[in-house]
Amino acid sequence: MKLFLTFFLFFLLGSCIEISDDLTLNNDGSGTLKYKINLSASKVKVNSILALDSLQGKPVPSVQEISAKIKEFVKILDAQPGVSNVLMEENYTDFIFKLSCDFTSVKLLQDGIKRSIEQISKDKVNLQQEENWLSWDGTTLKRSIPSYVAEQIKAYKFEDEALLKEGVYTSIARFERPVQRFENKLGTLSKNQQAVLVRTNTFLLKENQALLDNIIVLTPR
């Protein structure tokens, strides 16, 4: 789920960014995931970064390389058990990227993302042994940022913290029945009590990746 936050860290450097993840979870554990990265407010900055050969000692990928990597990820994820209808919208004019997919269970979604990251990563990472960052038992949803992504975020040096403070990350979880309680203090409950929204700025998220962690308990069926 947080793969694209890592993948676009090059462009987070000194960029104003809007990120959102939107998880719809049915009572049977199936659902839909939507993920969006919007860099349109910093497209001039992004284009200037793309014109560089390297940044912070790392080569800057071309648009063609970025698109190829995205398509590879989509193809691999779409082939995973329990994951289907994987779609990716790529806009390299305004730098807006939208990922969506359906899944039959939260576990299969998580496993599919882990395998997909492993296969496209140049680093020899093994995420199968990593802790569960997404779980659902029919009543309680637990979610967090994977430690692999958290480590990647911490490793980067952001050149313009003021722009990061203007950036926004929004995380939404939607359900088929009312929410009984949730633990994240940044969260707000929708009027119909069937969705929880957590919002923070990207600077605070860079400093503390646990800001998006949440445990959401639904009313009994």
Reported as a single tens digit per residue, the pLDDT across 152-169 is 666 656 555 666 677 888
pLDDT in tens, 54-84: 777 778 888 898 899 899 999 999 999 999 9
pLDDT at 16: 73
Q: How far apart are CA 168 and CA 166, in angstroms?
A: 7
Q: Is the pLDDT of residue 145 over 60?
A: yes
Specify the DSSP class assigned to residue 179.
E
221 vs 198: which has the higher pLDDT: 198
Q: How far is CA 14 from CA 66, 90, 124, 135, 203, in A?
A: 19, 21, 28, 33, 11
Q: How far apart are CA 113 and CA 131, in angstroms?
A: 13
Q: Is the pLDDT of residue 27 over 70?
A: yes
Average pLDDT over residues 21-31: 96
Average pLDDT over residues 159-180: 84
pLDDT in tens, 36-58: 989 898 888 888 888 888 777 77
List alpha helices for the chain, DSSP H: 3-7, 9-12, 43-50, 63-78, 106-120, 147-155, 161-166, 202-207
- What is the band of 1 on the pLDDT scale with cuts at 50, 70, 90? very low
Closest CA to 35 of 106, 102, 100: 100
Q: How far apart are CA 87 and CA 106, in angstroms?
A: 18
107 vs 132: which has the higher pLDDT: 107
- What is the band of 187 on the pLDDT scale with cuts at 50, 70, 90? very high
19 vs 177: which has the higher pLDDT: 177
Mean pLDDT of the chain: 84
3-state secondary structure of 130: coil
Q: Is the pLDDT of residue 5 over 80?
A: no
Q: Is the pLDDT of residue 10 over 70?
A: no
pLDDT at 61: 82
207 vs 149: which has the higher pLDDT: 207
